[in-house]
Amino acid sequence: MNVGRLTVIGIGLIGGSFARAVRRGGAVGEIVGCSADAAELRGAIDLGVIDRAETDVAAAARGAGVVMIATPVGAIPAVFRAIAGSLGEETIVSDAGSVKGSVVAAARALLGRHFPRFVAGHPIAGTERSGVAASLPDLYVNQRVILTPEAETRADAIATVRALWEAAGAHVEEMPAGEHDAILAYTSHLPHMVAFALVNCLGGAEPASELLRFAAGGFRDLTRIASSHPVMWRDIALANRDELLRALHGYQGSLAEIIAAIEKGDAAALEAIFARARALRERLGNAGQAHGQSKMPPS
Amino acid sequence: MNVGRLTVIGIGLIGGSFARAVRRGGAVGEIVGCSADAAELRGAIDLGVIDRAETDVAAAARGAGVVMIATPVGAIPAVFRAIAGSLGEETIVSDAGSVKGSVVAAARALLGRHFPRFVAGHPIAGTERSGVAASLPDLYVNQRVILTPEAETRADAIATVRALWEAAGAHVEEMPAGEHDAILAYTSHLPHMVAFALVNCLGGAEPASELLRFAAGGFRDLTRIASSHPVMWRDIALANRDELLRALHGYQGSLAEIIAAIEKGDAAALEAIFARARALRERLGNAGQAHGQSKMPPS
């Protein structure tokens, strides 16, 4: 399979890695990159990630077989608006956003008659780094990609997007957008909020310099994802607001249970809480072994 | 330096690794192990970690040059009580507990005239595994060990305990017990509570099986320390109650700040919160590089 020209809008870690992977997989012809960030575009050309750079979104989409949108989630609606008038009758559009419900709703509202050829997607892969210089051709190898097609999405469009991700080495599965958002709220978005809060708590405590010196071990592993891109996470948190708030309130409850047991000095309750976590965590360890897994934090 | 007979009380990951390390470092003669757990004692003999097993704490301490207590923190006072009558006039006592203020207070109350030869210590190393089978002779190589001597602690006792840890490959530093407990509350004890709460929150959400399947990536790294020993962490949480509650309340504040910004849909505030965390986390990354660091979560 070769989809012809691929246009990647947003050529950072996710878009850049996608371009490198599908080119290596022989699944595309020319690759056009588009970004509002001139330095990123230049970097993408210099690294051979893209063949041609465009700064105008509508122009970048014109003549593409597939348009992949890999901007932060908050920028995706504006991209839909910009490309709607320049899509070909057979052009397939997809995205790599970490939230799917709001993206699908925006696509339905803004892509008009092109909506049946829009396939919402999310590669569950990434690193805490960002930018095209961090992109890797094997970022998606053995990683999961979730597609969330709607009732009117064309089967051939789904098959094409699936084939591209498979050419990148990923395992593709489909589920409803709402289910995706509920799962990712707990397994990815909540952990990021937890890590951001943990680092900020340390930063607000005294003496910060001593704390930093001793925080270098396990704390560092636990909070690596707090280095993730602020704009990307701002957009995810707002786009998946309801599900994320549900997860955050559940988490506050779990935390309050621990705090209450410590305040009461209730040794039996504390031991039971920690034992419950350990047992569940060990099931997770086994679940992880059963499936090929990366060490990278997903988004 | 050779301290003669070493008695290790509590021969799990921490005590077993200490025995292996100082034997390899040539710093001890016979090593006597003591544990309430017969299987652990047998394992320690079979693995060559100790030369002789004792189930009676007082008998184990008799004739020792150094007694190292490596039980969970909550069991340490009972050990002090048991050994006080059988310590020699020159026997040095130390411990490896993760909390120091409460241990020092118990030693002062229970060791009587032997207190000046008690040197409180804490190796900042470990893994989420436990038990003598997980012990490693190089667990402490390039790791920090903090000693928290009091005004009346004898300098020669401090020097001996320092030399043992240095023979194990560790970097030793001294600070007041209260400072140790405040620092560890933020850098180690709080992150463990955060990980326990995160796993329990996921375990309480629906559908748990789907969540577990997707939680296998970054979530797994973030929550590895939730597999730590429930009894050990129950004891730490209670022994460092005041400092840990202070850290937990600070953390609740950092979390509430994020939740409030999401609830209000305040994009600018969210971006600022995440950017603050990222900047601090990157300072941490550099601080970590400057010092030899393991990937293991400390306790």
**Cβ contact (<8 Å) for B254 and A201?**
yes
Contacts of A181 in chain B (CB under 8 A): none
Q: Do A238 and B265 touch (CB under 8 A)?
A: yes
Q: A77: cis peptide before it, omega within 30°?
A: no
The neighbouring-strand residues paired with B33 are B8, B53
Are residues B217 and A287, on separate chains, in Cβ contact within 8 Å?
A: no
Question: Phi first, then psi: what are they for B286, rounded to 5°?
Answer: -70, -45
HSE-up (13 A, CA, CB side) for residue A263: 11
Query: Which residue among A211, A234, A250 places its CB closest to the CB of B201?
Result: A250
Three-state secondary structure call for residue A226: helix
Place B216 in a pLDDT band, splitting at 50, 70 and 90.
low
User: Which residues in chain B have their CB less than 8 angstroms from residue A185's CB?
Assistant: none
The answer to whether B57 touches B34, Cβ cutoff 8 Å, is: yes
Residue B285's pLDDT is what?
66
CB contact under 8 A, A196 and B273: yes
Of B212, B227, B258, nearest to A287 by CB-CB distance is B212
B147 beta partners: B121, B174
Q: What percent of chain B has pLDDT over 70?
A: 94
Residue ranges in chain A modelled with pLDDT below 50 = 287-298
A197, A212, A227 member nearest B254 (Cβ)? A197
* CA atoms of A180 and A97, how far apart (whole Å): 11
Contact A1, A27 (CB under 8 A): yes
Predicted local confidence at residue B299, as pLDDT: 53
pLDDT (0 to 100) of residue B284: 76
Residue whose entry in the numeric block shows the structure tokens 């909390």: B99
When scoring B98, B171, B186, B232 by the number of chain A Cβ atoms within 10 A, the one with the most, hence best to mutate, is B186
Side-chain half-sphere exposure of A16, counting CA atoms within 13 A: 25
DSSP conformational letter for A296? S
For residue A216, what pLDDT is reported? 58
CA-based R_g, chain A, Å: 21
Q: Would the pLDDT of B225 be above 90?
A: no
Q: Is pLDDT at B162 greater than 90 in this prediction?
A: yes
Q: Are B40 and B19 in contact (CB under 8 A)?
A: no
**B130 contacts on A by Cβ (under 8 Å):** none
Can you give the pLDDT at residue B297?
A: 43
pLDDT exceeds cutoff 70 at B181: yes
Are A215 and B144 within 8 A, CB to CB? Answer: no
pLDDT computed for residue B196 by the predictor:
95
pLDDT tens figures, B53-76 = 999 999 999 999 999 999 999 999
pLDDT at B290: 35
**How far apart (Å, rounded) are the C-alpha atoms in residues B168 and B16?**
12
Distance from CA of A157 to the nearest CA of B (A): 25
Residue A299: per-residue pLDDT: 53
CA B238 to each of CA A146, B163, B223, B249: distance values in angstroms, whole numbers, following the listed order: 43, 31, 21, 16
**Whether B196 and A297 lie within 8 Å, measured CB to CB:** no
Asked if B186 and A201 come within 8 Å (Cβ–Cβ), the reply is yes
- DSSP for B88-154? -TT-EEEE--S--HHHHHHHHHHSGGGGGGEE-EEEE---S--SGGG--TTTTTT-EEEE---TTS-
Alpha-carbon gap, residue A180 to B12, rounded angstroms: 42
**Cα within 13 Å of Cα(A210), Cβ side:** 12
- Please provide the CATH number assigned to the domain covering B6-175: 3.40.50.720
Chain B residue with CA closest to A211: the answer is: B183
Structural fold of domain A179-290 = 6-phosphogluconate dehydrogenase C-terminal fold (1.10.3660)
Q: Is there a contact between B49 and B70 (Cβ–Cβ < 8 Å)?
A: no
Structural domain boundaries of chain A?
Answer: 6-175, 179-290
Q: List the single residue in A217, A218, A296 with the smallest CB-CB distance to B218.
A: A296
The residue type at B158? I
Please indicate whether residue B247 or residue B127 has the higher confidence score (pLDDT): B247
Amino acid at A275: A
**What is the reported pLDDT for A223?**
85
First to last CA, chain B: 29
Mark yes or no for CB contact B250/A205 under 8 Å: yes
B227 contacts A282? CB cut-off 8 A: yes
Query: What is the distance of C-alpha B142 from the center of its chain?
Result: 16
> Shortest Cα distance from B120 to chain A (angstroms)?
18
Provide mean pLDDT across the span B8-28.
96
Choose among A238, A259, A274: nearest Cβ to B230. Answer: A274
User: How many Å apart are CA A209 and CA A116, to the nearest integer?
Assistant: 55
**Tokens linked to A27:** 């699944």
- In sequence order, the 6+-apart residues with CB closer than 8 A to the CB of B65 are B3, B4, B5, B6, B28, B29, B90, B91, B92
User: What is the ipTM score, two decimals?
Assistant: 0.87
Contact A224 B281 (CB under 8 A): yes
CA distance A216 to B287: 7
Collect all residues with Cβ–Cβ distance below 8 Å to A56 and sequence separation of at least 6.
A34
Phi and psi for B100 in degrees, rounded to 5?
-115, -35
| pTM (2 d.p.) | 0.86
- CB of A291 within 8 A of CB of A275? no
Of A10, A9, A11, A13, whose CA–CA distance to A228 is shortest?
A13
Residue B147 confidence (pLDDT) above 90: yes
Answer whether A214's CB lies under 8 Å from B173's CB.
no
Answer positive or negative: Cα dihedral of B13, B17, B18, B23.
positive
Classify B60 as helix, strand or coil. Answer: helix
Residue B187 has pLDDT above 80, yes or no: yes
